[in-house]
A and B are shown apart, each in its own frame.
Chain A
Amino acid sequence: MSSKPLFVGADVGASRTKVVVLDSEKNIVGHCVKISGTDFTSTANLCLDTSLNMAGAEESDIAKTISTGYGRKNVSFANDTVTEIGCHAKGCYHYFPTAISIIDIGGQDNKIIKLDENGKRSSFKMNRKCAAGTGAFLEEMSARLDIPLEKMDELAKQSEDMVKLGSYCTVFSATEVLENIRNGKKLPDIVKGLFFSVIRRITEMDSFTGKVVMTGGVVAHNPFLVEMMRKLIEREILVPEYPQFSGAIGAALYAMEKELVDIN
């Protein structure tokens, strides 16, 4: 191990794998995100290689690695695992060290995690076994509407008369979307309606205490959705610099903490 040990967090989500490399000053010196695919272990390895390249470091420089996410048990280079709830909490509190409610919108699930002013979790909730309000819902709808996922944010912004979608079932929502297309509604209005459906589902999960922080891939790629949430809940919303990497950053911070415990 070099004199400047590195700490790695690997967040293998259902949709994307994220790896972050932190130096001992907690600076992000390398990061990478890839589609998780069907081989979580090799995707995590690829992400690690890219992140280490970015950091100009080698695997032997890593002091400790913590993995998280659905595929946390599939990371060959991890020393231990922590749940994504714990890692998102740790990652967000690092940037916003106060009482916060974290909204994480992932590919497969949503989370609302509440932390007190000391960063301790007071409660957490995950969405029920349903795609409502998740990235998977937007992926399904982008395919239905035949528009690339990355164009959705731009389209939603152009809306002048948002379509209201009532159902929280992805299949029923798809039917509603088809009905709106048939009735000649404009695409931007439908896409904004889809965004609104996502944020509505999340606000139905729990109440918010403290400041609200939003993270996750959906947040990273759709800043307009954050804007819409701000209007809906009438509260300021904080977004960390790397919203998609919050879980991986939290995992790397856990790695650092655990290394300190081991040394002592």
Chain B
Amino acid sequence: MVEEKKVVRKKIEATGIMNKYMADYFYELDRASKSRDKKIAWCTSVGPAELLLSMGFLVYYPENHGALLGTSRMSTDVIPNANVIGYSPDICSYLTADIGAYLKGVTPLSKAFEGIESVPKPDVLVYNTNQCRDVKDWFGWYSRELNVPLLGVHTHRNPTDIGENVVSSISQQIKDLVEPLEKISGNKFDLEKLKKVVALSRECSELWKEVLETASTNPSPLTFFDGTIHMGPAVVLRGTQQAVDYYKILLKELKERVKNKEGAVEDEKFRIYWEGMPVWGRLRAHSELFANLKACVLASTYCNSWIFTDFDPEDPFTSMAKAYSELFIVKSDEAKEKYMKRMIDLFKIDGVIYHDAKTCPNNSNNRYGMPQRLEKETGIPSLVINGDLNDLRLISDEQTKTNVEAFIEQLDENKR
């Protein structure tokens, strides 16, 4: 029998510190939820979190909870609870997993953090449709269920360039949130506070960018799979000092690895770019699958999506509008392809993997011919794997494995 080779994957030492920051964050939300002494806002991952933080809200991100439902592999058990109340198995499995978990009265937070029994109760729900329409539908359900106000920003989708008209529209929509948020929070809007939060978000974003760009070295000191875990603070703590502190620690460790030429994957031979959502319930399996083939999946659009270089504390509303709208997921294929070419070049990529996530059409970028166009222009081969972010009923592990192994064989042949 052919023995499965096992390659050692390097552990990131800073993980323990990150876990503490994340635990502190969830316990603070839990305390506030129980004592009601601080207002809690639920916000989409690239919603106007900076404004919410500046107005004294604690901010909770249901998408992060969706990912936790995925990594804990609870999602597939709870999704049917949302399906039976009319939320199709074909729509966002973050939405169906999160609503399903609420209906079933379970949360992975209880398993991870002793004493936390449920997700924090919201005082307001704030969305930005920059990612998709599903986030609004998702928050809308909770608004009706919990009788909590629903506010939001409607983003112009699929532009190639974010023009002045888009920026002014989004900026005005964010400004329009101030008055209702003042009423809900009981706090007066303070421009200086907003500038401070935007400055912290910018600093976090720049550090996160530096962290991810360490992967451009050969061998790469981190993998995409590490990135999906270590992006936690960039997602839920952006706009706070803790996120800035954490990425300084992580960056130091990664720079040390670069200096010592320590690769995240032993004997890195192939450099892979991941386009699309992670398969949350298969992070470890995928990490091992690639590592055992000496392939380092080292960069991704997904992790890069929390880099917001447009934040400017001197012009907070305009820069927030720009930052939220310059997201990859918002843009046209033309803009996305330009971006992908830059990334392929920057990270010296040998092959691109597109994850066609069944329930996430907005973040499955293989469906309008992009892989074929980019292959033609760059000469870099690509592979599409079918799967999903959270619904494991939509995954064939064996087919993924065969496809990935065959792809790496192909890259190997091409290198000879």
The answer on a CB contact under 8 Å between A128 and B386 is yes
**What chain B residues lie within 8 Å of A83 (beta carbons)?**
402, 405-406, 409
The answer on a CB contact under 8 Å between B396 and A129 is yes
**What chain B residues lie within 8 Å of A82 (beta carbons)?**
409
The answer on a CB contact under 8 Å between B413 and A121 is yes
The answer on a CB contact under 8 Å between B409 and A81 is no
A79 with B2, Cβ < 8 A, contacts A85-B409, A121-B413 known: yes
**What chain B residues lie within 8 Å of A67 (beta carbons)?**
2
**What chain B residues lie within 8 Å of A124 (beta carbons)?**
406, 410
Residues 64-78 (chain A) with a chain B CB within 8 angstroms: 67, 70, 72-76, 78
Which residue from chain B places its CB closest to the CB of A130 in the assembled complex?
Answer: B386
* B4 interface residue per 8 A CB criterion: yes
* A49 interface residue per 8 A CB criterion: no
A76 with B399, Cβ < 8 A, contacts A121-B413, A124-B410, A129-B394 known: no
Bound complex: CA A83 to CA B409 (Å): 8
The answer on a CB contact under 8 Å between A74 and B402 is no
The answer on a CB contact under 8 Å between B1 and A76 is yes
A85 with B1, Cβ < 8 A, contacts A121-B410, A123-B381 known: no
Residues 384-409 (chain B) with a chain A CB within 8 angstroms: 384, 386, 394-396, 398-399, 402-403, 405-406, 409
* A235 interface residue per 8 A CB criterion: no
**What chain A residues lie within 8 Å of B381 (beta carbons)?**
122-123
The answer on a CB contact under 8 Å between A75 and B1 is yes
A75 with B2, Cβ < 8 A, contacts A84-B402, A128-B386, A129-B394 known: yes
Residues 248-307 (chain B) with a chain A CB within 8 angstroms: none
Which residue from chain A places its CB closest to the CB of B4 in the assembled complex?
Answer: A73
The answer on a CB contact under 8 Å between A73 and B2 is yes
The answer on a CB contact under 8 Å between A86 and B1 is no
A129 with B1, Cβ < 8 A, contacts A82-B409, A83-B405 known: no
A73 with B1, Cβ < 8 A, contacts A123-B381, A128-B386 known: yes
How many whole Å from B381's CB to the nearest CB in chain A? 7
* B414 interface residue per 8 A CB criterion: yes
Q: Which of A41, A123, A129 interacts with B399 by CB under 8 Å? A: A129
The answer on a CB contact under 8 Å between A126 and B399 is yes
Number of A interface residues at 8 Å Cβ cutoff, please give it: 27
How many whole Å from A177's CB to the nearest CB in chain B? 26
Interface of A is mostly: mixed
* A34 interface residue per 8 A CB criterion: no
How many whole Å from A123's CB to the nearest CB in chain B? 7
**What chain A residues lie within 8 Å of B1 (beta carbons)?**
41, 73-76, 78
Residues 88-143 (chain A) with a chain B CB within 8 angstroms: 109, 120-126, 128-129
Which residue from chain B places its CB closest to the CB of A206 in the assembled complex?
Answer: B372
Which residue from chain A places its CB closest to the CB of B407 in the assembled complex?
Answer: A124
**What chain B residues lie within 8 Å of A122 (beta carbons)?**
381
* A61 interface residue per 8 A CB criterion: no
Which residue from chain B places its CB closest to the CB of A67 in the assembled complex?
Answer: B2
A182-199 interface mask toward B, CB cutoff 8 Å, 1 = contact, 0 = none? 000000000000000000
Bound complex: CA A165 to CA B156 (Å): 41
Bound complex: CA A128 to CA B356 (Å): 10
**What chain A residues lie within 8 Å of B375 (beta carbons)?**
123
How many whole Å from A9's CB to the nearest CB in chain B? 14
**What chain A residues lie within 8 Å of B409 (beta carbons)?**
82-83, 85-86, 121
Bound complex: CA A72 to CA B2 (Å): 8
Q: Which of B2, B396, B399 interacts with A80 by CB under 8 Å? A: B2
Most buried by B among A75, A126, A128: A126
**What chain A residues lie within 8 Å of B4 (beta carbons)?**
73
**What chain A residues lie within 8 Å of B394 (beta carbons)?**
129
How many whole Å from B322's CB to the nearest CB in chain A? 38
B1-45 interface mask toward A, CB cutoff 8 Å, 1 = contact, 0 = none? 110100000000000000000000000000000000000000000
Bound complex: CA A186 to CA B225 (Å): 55
The answer on a CB contact under 8 Å between A78 and B2 is yes
Bound complex: CA A213 to CA B45 (Å): 49
Bound complex: CA A70 to CA B400 (Å): 12
Which residue from chain A places its CB closest to the CB of B394 in the assembled complex?
Answer: A129
Which residue from chain A places its CB closest to the CB of B375 in the assembled complex?
Answer: A123
The answer on a CB contact under 8 Å between A120 and B399 is no
How many whole Å from B379's CB to the nearest CB in chain A? 10
**What chain B residues lie within 8 Å of A73 (beta carbons)?**
1-2, 4
Bound complex: CA A41 to CA B1 (Å): 9
How many whole Å from A126's CB to the nearest CB in chain B? 6
The 3 closest A-B pairs by CB, nearest first: A85-B406, A83-B406, A129-B396
23 A-B pairs in the complex with CB atoms less than 8 angstroms apart: A67-B2, A70-B398, A73-B4, A75-B2, A78-B2, A79-B2, A83-B402, A83-B406, A84-B402, A85-B406, A86-B406, A86-B409, A120-B413, A120-B414, A121-B409, A121-B413, A123-B375, A125-B384, A126-B402, A128-B386, A129-B386, A129-B394, A129-B395
List the interface of chain B (C-beta within 8 A of A).
1-2, 4, 375, 381, 384, 386, 394-396, 398-399, 402-403, 405-406, 409-410, 413-414
List the interface of chain A (C-beta within 8 A of B).
41, 67, 70, 72-76, 78-86, 109, 120-126, 128-129
Q: Given A83-B409, A123-B381, A129-B386, 8 other A-B contacts at CB below 8 A?
A: A73-B1, A73-B2, A75-B1, A84-B402, A120-B414, A126-B402, A128-B386, A129-B396
